[in-house]
Structure 1
């Protein structure tokens, strides 16, 4: 880890919008095409001038109702998306569990995907081989490790993806709802591991509808509403705003 006085994440006046195309039916789409009319598109503002920073080693929950901009925020921080306005800065290696199975190739086995995903996250072959058994053991995949992952359940996807991410030498961990697909014992194991990582100085940003879980894992909450930041403070107060 580097200087803990410097933020690990800075989101500076970020705005992100998407275009929603307007073709309500096959007939309307055909008429639009036949008449060479432009396809109507409305602009949806997912984030509107959002700013915050996260110090090294802090665990922060991003909360809000569906459509508030939570997942968009994590995707911007992970680099999957780029802001239309403003800037996002991260310091150190980022591991993101943004979607179940993201970064996994369905036609490859679990074993092959461990090597692929770990390499994407910055591990070399020697590091992967040294940690491979620990990754498989934590994931509880067992003999399924040599099956093609397209045959995995969502829970198996999550367990393996999470296990790879936490065995990387990471500085920032982004988690978006993926822990919700695991069973209770595995969720408890993940929560314990996340607590260990934050104690070691890993910075964490969590998106979850499980208010109980974020209260156990996080000390701070950022609440979004229709793309705007409406609260940033102690996790108990943030959770109270959602209930």
Structure 2
């Protein structure tokens, strides 16, 4: 799909991977709606790229429905959805204070997995009504998994299982949406320089980067965004989870 002139929705667009993706899509000629629980952060990015910012709790049905409708009404029905909204708290299943509170686990699953599914179902439904492009394609959905889906570390039980769900969702969704000409992809990033990691001391960042076989550094959000753009452009990519990790394989802890 040629990105220029099409509309895109990016969740988690106010920071990190989502902000970089929104900027890259806009630079490629897309009209971009940035959805984020932090509308102010999304608005700052939207101002830079002539996009629109919309407050949205991706895990809430009504909030998601309202946000997708507002985005589609404002910039036209999106042919591109990129799911970047997510959280990644670290907590053991049973820690020094006892079992992990179930509410903590539920929160991660709701935002990372249910939120991805919620936006996929809503944007995917709207895409089905679009006229097909010359090659029969109507749209593409790119979700964010993680290498933790495959090598979750100690303390990542909630995060790893949520991202494992995103990875597992990709193929059945791609098969279901194939009849409408809608592709479904996921990217599994390794250790990236997101706001959470960027706040760590430089020594800690260097140590994390040194664990990557090559290049020995943290991933840059622009590199994630570049892969999103390639997924959009390359119509033969479908139903796949692509690792973007510099050949990193996570140790148990």
Q: Do the two structures share a fold, i.e. TM-score over 0.5?
A: no
- Structure number with the higher strand fraction is 1
TM-score, scaled relative to structure 2 = 0.34
When Rg is computed on C-alpha atoms for both structures, the one with the higher figure is 1
- Structure number with the higher helix fraction is 2
TM-score, scaled relative to structure 1 = 0.35
